[in-house]
Amino acid sequence: MTTEPPTMTDADRTATIAANREADAEAAAYGVGWKVFTGSMLILSSIFTFIFAVIAVSDASWFRTVLGPDVRLPTESTIETWGWIGLVVAFVVMLAGFGVFWGTMWARLFGIAGSVLNILIHLRYSTIFPWWSAAAILLDAVVIYGLAVRVHPLTSEQLAALEGRASGRTA
């Protein structure tokens, strides 16, 4: 006896497409906050790193002027080199920030790599500007988390449980 595979009627096909569109819309909305946050913070971080790097490349003695003549810089001999590294990192992180808004995987990977490099740059300058470096390192760590977390849409059971808790029902 041969069994034929079940066939789908046009009404079933239309209902399935509509249900999938609705599920895709919910999935797209879930996690948008992390995408907007990480993309924005990557762009902001790249702007700050760019400004810091331009100062290091164009006038490395500015750090001595700001901090005083008797302050020893941790990277005094290579501050211009670290400035050039900062310029490259700022460019990569800027591209990754815009790519995160588009939802590309390469942007997430470059964003994580750029944020790790940005942490290393700010660790290098932590004796010059400790509070600024600490804030930048913390921000980069949160951005790395936001890029590494894999956002999945809520299942129907999770949605039902959340709706039950919000309305005061328990089941």
What tokens appear for 161 in the block? 């449980």
Residue 103 CB neighbours (<10 A): 13
Average pLDDT, the chain: 77
- How far, in Å, CA of 29 to CA of 26, rounded? 5
Per residue in 19-60, pLDDT tens?
666 655 555 555 677 888 899 999 998 998 898 888 888 876
pTM for the model stands at 0.64
pLDDT at 131 over 80: yes
- How far, in Å, CA of 49 to CA of 86, rounded? 6
In a 10 Å sphere around its CB, with 0-12 CB exposed, 13-18 middle and 19+ buried, how is residue 153 labelled? middle
**Residue holding tokens 């946050």?**
37
Q: What residues contact 82, with CB distance under 8 A and at least 6 apart?
A: 53, 56, 75, 121, 124, 125
